[in-house]
Structure 1
Amino acid sequence: MNYETILVEKKDQITRITLNRPAALNSFNDKMGEEFYAALKEAEKDEGTRCLIVTGAGRAFSAGEDVSGLKQRYGGDTHLSLGDHLRKKYHPIILRIRNMEKPVIARINGIAAGSGASIALACDIRIASEEAGLKQAFIGVGLVPDSGSSYFLTQILGPGRALELIMTGRTVGAKEAENLGLVNQAVPAAELDKVINSVAEKLARGPTKALGLSKRVVNQVSRLELPDALEYEAQNQDIAGKTKDHLEAVRAFLEKRQPKFSGT
Structure 2
Amino acid sequence: MSDSQSLLFSLADGVATLTFNRPAVFNSVNREVALGLQQHLRECQADASVRAVVLTGTGKAFCAGQDLAEITGPNAPDVAEIVEKLYNPIVLLIRELDKPVIAAVNGVAAGAGANLALACDIVVAKESASFIQAFSKIGLVPDSGGTYFLPRLVGMQRASALMMLGDKVSAADAVQMGMIYKSFTDEAFDQEVAALARKLAAMPTKGLAYTKHLLNSTFGNDVAQQLSAEGDYQLRAGNTADYREGVAAFMEKRQPTFTGQ
Q: Do both share a fold (TM > 0.5)?
A: yes
Q: How does 1:213-232 map to 2 (within 5 A)?
A: 213-232=210-229
Match of 1:187 in 2: 184
Q: How does 1:162-241 map to 2 (within 5 A)?
A: 162-241=159-238
Distance 2:155 2:177 in 1: 11
- Structure 1, gaps ≥5 residues long: none
Q: How does 1:19-58 map to 2 (within 5 A)?
A: 19-58=20-59
Q: How does 1:1-264 map to 2 (within 5 A)?
A: 1-72=2-73, 75=74, 80-264=77-261
Q: SS of the residue aligned with 1:256?
A: coil
Which letter maps to 2:36? E
Q: SS of the residue aligned with 1:189?
A: coil
- 1:183-236 Cα offsets, whole Å, 9 max, x none, are 111111001011111111111110000001001101111210000000000000
Q: SS of the residue aligned with 2:48?
A: coil
Moved more, 230-239 or 190-199: 190-199
Calculate percent identity across the aligned residue pairs: 39
Which letter maps to 2:111? G
Which letter maps to 1:71? T
- Structure 2, gaps ≥5 residues long: none
Number of aligned residue pairs: 260
C-alpha contact 1:5 1:35 (8 A) present in aligned 2: no
- 1:80-139 Cα offsets, whole Å, 9 max, x none, are 542222111100000000110100001100000000001100110011001100000000
Which letter maps to 1:214? T
Q: SS of the residue aligned with 2:95?
A: helix
Which letter maps to 2:62? F
Which letter maps to 1:64? G
C-alpha contact 2:71 2:79 (8 A) present in aligned 1: no
C-alpha contact 1:221 1:232 (8 A) present in aligned 2: no
C-alpha contact 2:10 2:17 (8 A) present in aligned 1: yes
- 1:138-194 Cα offsets, whole Å, 9 max, x none, are 000001100101111111111111000001001101100010111111111001011
Which letter maps to 2:53? L
Distance 2:259 2:240 in 1: 10
TM-align CA RMSD: 1.1
Distance 2:69 2:79 in 1: 14
TM-score where L is the length of structure 2: 0.97
C-alpha contact 1:53 1:106 (8 A) present in aligned 2: yes
User: 1:41 Cα shift?
Assistant: 1.1
Q: SS of the residue aligned with 2:221?
A: coil
TM-score where L is the length of structure 1: 0.96
